[in-house]
Amino acid sequence: MIGFSKNIKHNKIYNNLNKTSIYIFNNKYYIVKNSRWNSLMYSQKYNLIFLIKSYNKYFNKNYTLKELENQPLSLYQNNIYPVKIYETLCEWLEKLVDEIYPIFSKLSSEKHFGCIGKYIEKAVSIFIGYKIYEGITFLI
């Protein structure tokens, strides 16, 4: 298992982790609800459909917004992953960064610290949502 926590203090002690589940910080929001992106995904600022297309291309899927409906929103990188799932995520993110870097390097308003990181953060949420849709269990 591998886990990260950003700007969140966890008081919960995780013993005997289920090594086939993703642990998600419970923020009680969904990625998509009633066919609308959660406002924390900033769909007006970030091209989230591009992320879905990248995911589909890399994993040879045909997913849409529909599969993200009522999936838990996981922002801020507060997750614990089975190593294999984490490796799969990182393999896709490596390709995704190659796809998005040329776009971000040309946008003068998008050169501040964390810009690409915030885009990647949205990609991680989409990745987790699709993995849960595919049957990976998640725990909070």
User: Domain limits of the chain?
Assistant: 18-139
Alpha-carbon distance 43 to 65, whole Å? 12
Say what the pLDDT of residue 113 is: 46
The yes-or-no verdict on residue 57 having pLDDT over 60 is yes
**Mean pLDDT computed over every residue of the chain:** 86
E runs forming strands in 28-103:
32-33, 36-37, 79-81
**Predicted confidence (pLDDT) per residue in 95-135, tens digit:** 999 888 777 666 555 554 456 778 888 999 999 999 999 99
**Which H or E run contains 139?**
strand 137-139
> How large is the C-alpha radius of gyration of the chain?
15
Say what the pLDDT of residue 24 is: 87
Mean pLDDT of 75-88: 89
The model's pTM is 0.88
Are 33 and 69 in contact by the 8 Å Cβ rule? The answer is yes
